[in-house]
């Protein structure tokens, strides 16, 4: 394991299991980060840095933390709901974890697996509804191309809260209730990119959705955010959008979606496998739905699985069913397809949020009525 990966693992663990000496070592870098963040926010506030606003309505989905709030399933569900209202949706993604970046000099190129696991997952979900995912660091350029060639009715800016360069009509901020909110530390001492007060910086509509965690945790997080004045003083709508398993599939044998949890999984120990920003939340979700876990195998977010990883995973499972996420399956499937005798007990779980669809529908109809 390289030095960078070792340090990254240690810093990530400090976010969930802080130690006194670890926080002391990270205090100075965190102070430097806070000063840099203040300068960045000041530059936007006084107009040194300026936004580019698009003619097409834009919804940003983001968070204050480094990840693990469920942005991908929320983007998919949001795009599907907007499509059900008759909208043509284009998702603008940076493509974190991509092995190559598409050349967008000419026509816009929809996402494919090399452009990142999350963009490809979103593309597969929304393409049947006429949606498209465009990947690249210059999202303004991609948006201009989309307006010229694809004529979208709405853009969804994936992981866009910190991407202030591109204007938006609505900010959706996702909150993981399993991550400490009160007295949360900024990077690298904690998982927060920005403090909670950053939610007050814009006058546009901002919706805070609590996605991860148990029902009591979500209610406690929502109550805390309301106590901080998000709804009363800043006019930020705070609600829950719990993410839950919706479908179970065995892609190597019978790819037919199953609902609810298959009896075979609920009646024997299983292995949870994930490479997410918040692996603990995935394991907790499975246990909350009656799955008994014999092992929990975790990797870093966007982990590029290898044949060696597959061998280790299969040996650890030792014949037990392996449950993983759609995001991980994008990178696992190519290796398993090449295996001579792939294990048959691979299960992929689809997760989706319960969106506050009334607020989304009302916003969309209000915009339609104005135009």
What pLDDT does residue 227 have? 83
User: Which of 305, 259, 299 has the alpha carbon at shortest distance from 283?
Assistant: 299
Would you state the structure tokens that stand for residue 323, as one six-digit string? 């449950």
What pLDDT does residue 141 have? 92
Q: Is pLDDT at 298 greater than 90 in this prediction?
A: yes
Alpha helices of 47-136 — where are they, by DSSP H?
A: 71-84, 117-126
What pLDDT does residue 10 have? 84
What pLDDT does residue 247 have? 93
Least confidently predicted of 31-45, 68-82, 89-103: 89-103
Q: What is the pLDDT of residues 300-351, one digit of tens each?
A: 888 999 989 999 999 999 999 999 999 999 999 988 877 665 566 899 999 9
Q: Is pLDDT at 356 greater than 90 in this prediction?
A: yes
pLDDT band of 209, cuts 50, 70, 90: very high
Q: Is pLDDT at 228 greater than 90 in this prediction?
A: no
What pLDDT does residue 100 have? 63
- The structure's pTM equals 0.93
Q: Identify the residue whose tokens are 């963040």.
A: 37
Q: Is pLDDT at 1 greater than 60 in this prediction?
A: no
The rounded radius of gyration (Å) of the Cα atoms in the chain is: 21
Mean confidence (pLDDT) of the chain:
88
What pLDDT does residue 160 have? 95
CA–CA dist 320, 293 (Å, integer): 10
Q: What is the pLDDT of residues 108-128, one digit of tens each?
A: 666 666 778 899 999 999 999
| Average pLDDT score over residue span 21-43 | 94
DSSP output for 255-285: ---B-S--HHHHTS-EEEEE-STTHHHHHHH
Pairing of strands 270-274, 170-176: unpaired
| Average pLDDT score over residue span 280-296 | 93
What sign does the dihedral 236-195-176-56 (CA atoms) show?
positive
Of residues 196 and 107, more confidence is placed in: 196
What pLDDT does residue 252 have? 86
- Domains, in order of start, for the chain: 58-242+354-370 (3.40.50), 244-353 (3.40.50)
- By percentage, how much of the chain surpasses pLDDT 90? 61
Q: Is pLDDT at 102 greater than 80 in this prediction?
A: no
What pLDDT does residue 325 have? 97
| Neighbouring-strand partners of residue 90 | 132, 155
Of residues 285 and 233, more confidence is placed in: 285
User: Which of 258, 277, 276, 256 has the alpha carbon at shortest distance from 330?
Assistant: 276
What pLDDT does residue 171 have? 94
User: Which of 252, 266, 258, 246 has the alpha carbon at shortest distance from 346?
Assistant: 252
Q: What is the pLDDT of residues 50-88, one digit of tens each?
A: 999 999 999 999 999 988 899 999 999 999 999 999 999
Of residues 96 and 240, more confidence is placed in: 240
**352 — phi, psi (to 5°)?**
-150, 150
Q: What is the pLDDT of residues 239-265, one digit of tens each?
A: 999 999 999 999 988 778 888 888 878
- By percentage, how much of the chain surpasses pLDDT 70? 91
| Average pLDDT score over residue span 143-149 | 94
What sign does the dihedral 144-148-150-151 (CA atoms) show?
positive
């Amino acid at each position: 394991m390289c030095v960078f990966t070792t340090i990254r693992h240690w810093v990530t663990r400090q976010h969930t299991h802080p130690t006194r000496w670890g926080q002391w070592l990270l205090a100075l870098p965190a102070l430097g980060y806070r000063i840099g963040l203040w300068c960045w926010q000041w530059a936007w506030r006084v107009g040194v840095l300026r936004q580019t606003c698009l003619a097409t309505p834009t919804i940003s989905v983001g968070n204050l933390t480094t990840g693990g709030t469920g942005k991908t399933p929320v983007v998919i569900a949001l795009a599907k709901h907007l499509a059900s209202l008759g909208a043509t949706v284009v998702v603008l993604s940076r493509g974190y974890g991509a092995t190559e970046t598409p050349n967008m000099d000419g026509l816009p190129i929809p996402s494919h697996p090399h452009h990142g696991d999350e963009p490809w997952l979103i593309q597969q979900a929304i393409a049947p509804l006429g949606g498209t995912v465009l990947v690249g660091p210059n999202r303004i350029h991609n948006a201009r191309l989309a307006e010229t060639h694809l004529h979208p009715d709405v853009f969804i800016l994936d992981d866009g809260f910190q991407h202030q360069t591109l204007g938006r009509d609505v900010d959706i901020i996702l909150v993981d209730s399993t991550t400490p909110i009160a007295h949360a530390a900024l990077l690298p001492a904690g998982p927060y990119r920005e403090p909670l007060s950053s939610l007050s910086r814009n006058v546009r509509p901002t919706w805070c959705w609590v996605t991860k965690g148990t029902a009591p945790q979500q209610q406690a997080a929502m109550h805390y955010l309301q106590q901080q004045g998000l709804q009363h003083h800043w006019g930020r709508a705070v609600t829950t959008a719990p993410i839950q398993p919706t479908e179970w599939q065995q892609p190597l044998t019978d790819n037919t979606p199953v609902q609810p949890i298959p009896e075979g999984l609920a009646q024997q120990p299983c292995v949870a496998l994930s490479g997410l920003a918040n692996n603990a939340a995935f394991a907790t979700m499975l246990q909350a739905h009656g799955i008994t876990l014999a092992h929990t195998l975790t990797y870093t977010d966007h982990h590029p699985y290898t044949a060696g990883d597959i061998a280790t995973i299969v040996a650890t499972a030792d014949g037990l069913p392996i449950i993983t996420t759609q995001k991980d399956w994008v990178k696992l499937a190519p290796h398993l397809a090449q295996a001579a005798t792939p294990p048959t007990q691979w299960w992929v779980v689809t997760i989706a949020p319960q969106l506050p669809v009334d607020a989304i529908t009302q916003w969309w109809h209000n915009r339609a009525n104005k135009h």
